[in-house]
Chains A and B, each alone.
Chain A
Amino acid sequence: MSSRRSSFRRKEKPAFQRFKDHCRHFTAFMFSNVGIILLVTFYTIGGAFIFQAIEIFEYERLRSEKPHRFIERNVSGECLTRIWELTAENISFFDHKAYRKRVNDVLLEYQRAIVKKQLKGPDVEQWSFSGAFLYSLTVITTIGYGNITPHSEWGKLATILYAIIGMPLFLLYLSNIGDVLAKSFKWIYSKVCLCRICPGVAKRRIIRERRKMRHLARALQMHHMESGGGSSSYSSSSSTTNSNSSSSTDYTKSSYRSSSIVDVAYSGSDSDIEREIRGSTDEITVPLTVCIFVMVGYILWGALLFGRWEDWNYLDGSYFCLISLSSIGFGDLVPGDRVITADRDKVEVSFILCAVYLLLGMAVIAMCFNLMQEEVVHNIRAIKRGFKACFRCRSS
Chain B
Amino acid sequence: MSGRRAQSLPAHMVEPAKPERGRCVAAICFSWKIITCIVSHVLLVLLVVSYCVGGAYLFQHLERPHELEVKRDIQNLRFNLTENIWLLSDDALVLRESDWMANVSKHLANFEKQILTAIKADGWDGDEDLRKSQWTFAGSLFYSIIVITTIGYGHISPRTDWGKVTTIFYAIVGIPLMLICLSNIGDVMATSFRFLYWRICCYVCTRTAKRPRNARSRQRSVRGQRYARSQPPPSFRRSMKMTQRSGNDSGFGPSMGHAHSDPELRTMGRGVGGGYDDREFGHRSSGGRNRRQQQIAAQPRQQRHNIYGDEYEMQTQTLNRGNRYSSRQRQRDRMRDRHTVERERYRHDFDAGSMEDFSDLQPPAKRAASVRSVRSPQHQESKASRELHRLHSAPGRGARAKSVDPRHVSSQHYEDVDEDVVRKTPIIPNRYALDDFGGGSGHQRTTRNAAPRSQSMPRSAHQRQRQRDRERERSPQPPRNAGRRAGSLGRQSTRYGNHLELPDYDAPPQGSSRDHRRDRRGRSPRSYEDYVEESFDEVSLCDGGHYEDYPPVHSKSRSREPRRNHRRRERAERLPPSPRIMSPMGFPVQRQIRRRPSYEYDEDDSMYGEDYGDYGDLLPKDRPVPIWLCVFLVVSYILGGAALFAYWENWSFLDSAYFCFITLTTIGFGDFVPAKGVKDESEQSIAYCSLYLLFGIALLAMSFNLVQEEFIANVKEVARRLGILKDDDEDDRDED
Contacts and interface: CB of A to CB of B under 8 A. Distances in A.
Contact of A253 (B89, B147, B533, B671): B533
B91 interface: no
Contact of B150 (A96, A244, A327): A327
Contacts of B530: 257
Max chain A Cβ within 10 angstroms of own Cβ: one of B152, B658, B661: B152
A38 interface: no
B529 A107 contact: no
Max chain B Cβ within 10 angstroms of own Cβ: one of A96, A243, A325: A243
Given A244-B370, A250-B537, A331-B154, A385 B544 contact: yes
A178 B115 CA distance: 44
B603 A5 contact: yes
Interface string A79-120: 110011001100100101001100110011011101110110
Interface stretch (A57-65, A140-148, A200-208, A269-277): A140-148
Given A88-B95, A330-B153, A376-B432, A391 B548 contact: yes
A366 B584 contact: yes
A329 B154 contact: yes
A170 B598 CA distance: 20
Interface string B110-142: 011001100110011110000000000000000
A159 B147 CA distance: 22
B603 A8 contact: yes
B105 A76 contact: yes
A392 B376 CA distance: 11
Interface string A364-381: 011101100110110011
A126 interface: no
Interface string B256-284: 00000000000000000000000000000
B483 interface: no
Contact of A370 (B554, B591, B655, B736): B591
Q: Does more than half of chain B's interface fall in helix, strand or loop, or is it mixed?
A: helix
A121 B150 CA distance: 22
A387 B28 CA distance: 14
A232 B515 contact: yes
Contacts of A254: 533
Interface in A310-340: 315-316, 318-319, 322-323, 325-332, 337
A153 interface: yes
B335 interface: no
A156 interface: yes
A28 interface: yes
Given A76-B112, A228-B511, A243-B529, A330 B544 contact: no
A350 interface: no
Contacts of A20: none
Contact of A121 (B374, B528, B671): B671
A139 B74 CA distance: 35
B375 A244 contact: no
A219 B375 CA distance: 8
Q: Does more than half of chain A's interface fall in helix, strand or loop, or is it mixed?
A: helix
Contact of A153 (B97, B540, B654): B654
Contacts of A256: 533
A76 B157 CA distance: 29
B647 interface: no
B654 A331 contact: no
Contacts of A384: 436, 543-544
Interface residues on A, range: 35 or more
A227 B171 contact: no
A237 interface: yes
B668 interface: yes
Contacts of A87: 85, 89, 95, 100
Interface string A241-258: 011101100100110110
A228 B515 contact: yes
B660 to A, nearest CB: 10
Contacts of B657: 160
B168 A319 contact: yes
A38 to B, nearest CB: 13
Nearest to A108: B78
B374 A220 contact: yes
A27 to B, nearest CB: 8
A346 interface: no
Interface in B493-540: 508-512, 514-516, 518, 525-526, 528-530, 532-533, 536-537, 540
A235 B115 CA distance: 84
A125 interface: no
B153 A243 contact: no
Contacts of B580: 171
A236 interface: yes
B587 interface: yes
Contacts of B736: 167-168, 171-172
B669 A146 contact: yes
A229 interface: yes
A199 to B, nearest CB: 26
Interface in B719-736: 724-726, 728-729, 732-734, 736
Nearest to A77: B105
A385 B172 CA distance: 31
Nearest to A332: B157
A222 to B, nearest CB: 8
Interface string B229-249: 000000000000000000000
A223 B584 CA distance: 50
Contacts of A52: none
A392 B375 contact: yes
B190 to A, nearest CB: 20
B669 A145 contact: yes
A72 interface: no
Contact of B661 (A160, A171, A260, A396): A160
A323 to B, nearest CB: 7
A216 interface: yes
Contacts of B460: none
Given A2-B602, A79-B108, A237-B511, A145 B154 contact: yes
Interface of B: 17-18, 21, 74, 78-79, 81-83, 85-86, 89-90, 95, 97, 100-101, 104-105, 108-109, 111-112, 115-116, 119-120, 123-126, 146-147, 150-154, 157, 159, 161, 164-165, 167-168, 171-172, 175, 367-368, 370-371, 373-377, 432, 435-436, 462, 465, 508-512, 514-516, 518, 525-526, 528-530, 532-533, 536-537, 540-541, 543-544, 547-549, 551-552, 554, 580-581, 583-585, 587-589, 591-592, 595, 598-599, 602-603, 654-655, 657-658, 661-662, 665-671, 724-726, 728-729, 732-734, 736
User: A-B pairs with the 6 shortest C-beta distances?
Assistant: A384-B544, A224-B511, A228-B512, A328-B152, A115-B126, A330-B154
15 contacts: A4-B599, A5-B599, A5-B603, A80-B104, A163-B667, A168-B733, A175-B591, A223-B511, A240-B514, A330-B157, A331-B152, A365-B584, A366-B588, A370-B591, A391-B548
Given A144-B152, A144-B670, A369-B589, 6 more contacts: A87-B95, A142-B666, A163-B667, A175-B732, A231-B516, A239-B529
